[in-house]
Amino acid sequence: MQLRTTLCALSLGAGFCLPAYAAPCPAVTRVGISDQTDGQYRRGVANLVIEELARRTGCRFAVSWFPVARLHIQFSNRQLDMVMASLRTPGRDETGRYVPYAYTQFELLLKDSVTGRFRSLAEFVDGSTARLNLPRGISYPDAVRAQLERLEAQGRLEYVKDYGVVFNKIKVGRAEGSLVPLVVQAQRLGPVGLANTMQGNPITEAPRRLLGAYLSRTTLPDSVYSSYAHTMADMVTDGTIQKIYATALGSEVAGRVFSSGTREILQTIEY
């Protein structure tokens, strides 16, 4: 990555330096997240990433929470300028430009009482009677969706509002598991009292994928997009994103998230 210079804002009395690629800030950048527990915003990864982006760019961000199913509807309707913790899809690319900053991978998370260890979702569908609950609006790989259709046909799958509802229903015995990324497991299992009663199983249908932010093609000028994309790339390059994951989730989880390094993230970002 090329060496970049900085422009210091001392003449304005700001006392900080802005990157050479910094653009004039919008009045406010409206950000959507779906990271919430028991009705309260968490000081989680998405919020910490936005706080650092604001600090480095000097721009103002307003963060709002939405259920996963509504998050990208709000984005496509131009009610949001940016959404966090998103998987990339062709449909979302039509309305937004993708800036990855981490990785994610769905695991088959099951209560310890469920018999068997499953290497694939197909094995689980064929070899168990356990039920899953899933949040609406999640983008799953085609191979996962094919098995979910089989599971739904057997009456063993229910879609609900969000992960909060998923874990509450598991806790009261109305389901035995879900498909849950490692980060969500780290955030939510402890607070709902399930940390020592469930195990995550990597499945062959759900490989590791990039996780990132979508920035609006219509509500954010190209110059602002470029400024935010460069800044987030800097945050990955200098290790700030990895430190944020470690702060929010612990060093063990952060190490697993970034176990394959950051090259794919940085090569995917378009300026």
Are 97 and 216 in a shared domain? yes
CA distance 237 to 40: 31
Are 237 and 262 in a shared domain? yes
Choose among 55, 61, 58, 67: nearest CA to 31.
61
8 inside domain: no
Last residue of a domain, one of 202, 224, 245: 202
Are 226 and 99 in a shared domain? yes
Q: How confident is the model at residue 1 (pLDDT cuts 50, 70, 90)?
A: very low
Are 32 and 98 in a shared domain? yes
CB 168, CB 192: distance < 8 Å? yes
234-264 pLDDT per residue, tens: 999 999 999 999 998 999 999 999 999 999 9
Range of the domain at 128: 106-202
Are 119 and 235 in a shared domain? no
User: Would you say residue 6 has pLDDT above 50?
Assistant: no
**Mean of the per-residue pLDDT values of the chain:** 90
Strand, coil or helix: 266: helix
User: Would you say residue 20 has pLDDT above 70?
Assistant: no
So what's the pLDDT on residue 36?
52
CA distance 216 to 222: 10
pTM of the model: 0.85
21 inside domain: no
So what's the pLDDT on residue 143?
97
Sequence letter at residue 180: V
Last residue of a domain, one of 202, 221, 245: 202
So what's the pLDDT on residue 42?
54
